[in-house]
Amino acid sequence: MSTAKKQYKRITVKSLQEMKLNNQKIAMLTSYDYSTAKLVDAAGVDVILVGDSASNVFAGHETTLPITLDQMIYHASGVVRAAQRALIVVDIPFGSYQSDSKEALRSAIRIMKESGAHAVKVEGGAEIKESLSRIIQAGIPVMGHLGLTPQSIYKFGTYSVRAREEEEAKKLLEDVALLEKIGCFAIVLEKVPAKLAEIVSNNTNIPIIGIGAGPKVDGQVLVVNDMLGMNKEFSPRFLRRYLDLESEITNAVQQYVKDTKDNSFPSEKEQY
C-alpha cells in the first residue's frame, strides 16, 4: 500500500475533508497582510486564517473586539492576492453577526465579495445556530470555533482553558455535533483539554483544527506572529516558537540606526 501523501494544487474545503479521511494533518496559520501570506503560502501551509487576532497583533488592541468588518476585509484582500495554494478563511468580527442571522449573512457576503476569500469562520455554538445555517444555505463555507472563543472574553473573564468541567464539556460536545449537522466544513477548537479534543476528533467527520488542544486532532493552527517569536511577552503553554524574530528584528534595526548615524550606509555601491 502506498504511503505517499496526496499533493494538492489548491486547497478546497473538499481537500480538507479528504485530508481528515486519509489521516493527513492540516497545517493552518494566520496572516494579515500580503507579504507574510506570500511566504506562508509558498512554505506549504494548507489554510491561511485572516484571524480577528489582527486586532491584537496588528493593531495593538487588548482584545479582538474592536476590529471592524471593513478592517477584516482590508486585511483579507491582501492575503487573497498573495496566496496561490492555501484556502483562505476570514473571521467574521465581533458585532457583525450577533444581532440577527440576516446581518450575519450580509457580513459573510461582504467578506466573500469584497476580499475574494474562500470561507468564513464564526465563534459560537447553539446560540448562533440560525446565523450559521443562513450563511451555509447561501453557499458560503463556514468554519466553526468552539472552546475558548476570544470574542466572549468579557463573559469568561479570563483566557484560561475551557471545558475542564463536565457540564461545559457536555455543552461543547453538543455544539460540535450541531455544527457538523448544520454543515460547517471544519471546527477550530481552542484551549480545551487534549483528551476532550481527541474525543471530539474521533467522533466527528469534519476536520477539527486545534490550538492548545493537544496532538490528537486533525490539524493545528497558530498565530503567525507568535510562532515566529515576534512578541516574547506572550507565552502560553501551547505555543511553540520556531524563530526569535523579536531579537532578529531588533538587532537588524539597531544595526541600521548605527549605520545611518555613523554614515556607513549607504556605501559607494548603494548609490547612483
What residues make contact with ligand KIV under the rule CB under 6 A? 30, 49, 51-53, 91, 145, 188, 190, 211, 221, 223
CB 249 within 8 A of CB 229: no
C-beta closer to ligand KIV: residue 237 or 261: 237
Least Å distance between CB 224 and ligand KIV?
9
C-beta closer to ligand KIV: residue 51 or 112: 51
Strands, DSSP E only, in the chain?
26-30, 47-50, 87-91, 119-123, 142-147, 186-190, 208-211, 219-222
Q: CB 198: neighbour CB atoms within 10 A?
A: 17
C-beta closer to ligand KIV: residue 56 or 204: 56
C-beta closer to ligand KIV: residue 94 or 268: 94
The cell for 111 is: 467578506
Least Å distance between CB 175 and ligand KIV?
16
Q: Is 233 annotated in the active site?
A: no
Q: DSSP labels for 179-243?
A: HHHHT-SEEEEES--HHHHHHHHHT-SS-EEEESS-SSSSEEEE-HHHHTTS-TT---TT---S-
C-beta closer to ligand KIV: residue 39 or 253: 39
Q: How far apart are CA 115 and CA 92, in angstroms?
A: 12
CB 97 within 8 A of CB 103: yes
Least Å distance between CB 264 and ligand KIV?
40
C-beta closer to ligand KIV: residue 51 or 219: 51
Which among 123, 190, 268, 270 is annotated as catalytic?
A: 190
Least Å distance between CB 268 and ligand KIV?
46
What's CA 196's distance to the chain center, in Å?
21
Comparing every residue's Cβ against ligand KIV, the nearest one is 51
CB 140 within 8 A of CB 112: yes
Q: CB 32: neighbour CB atoms within 10 A?
A: 27
Cβ-based neighbours of 168, under 8 Å, separated by 6 or more: 162
Catalytically active residues, by annotation:
190
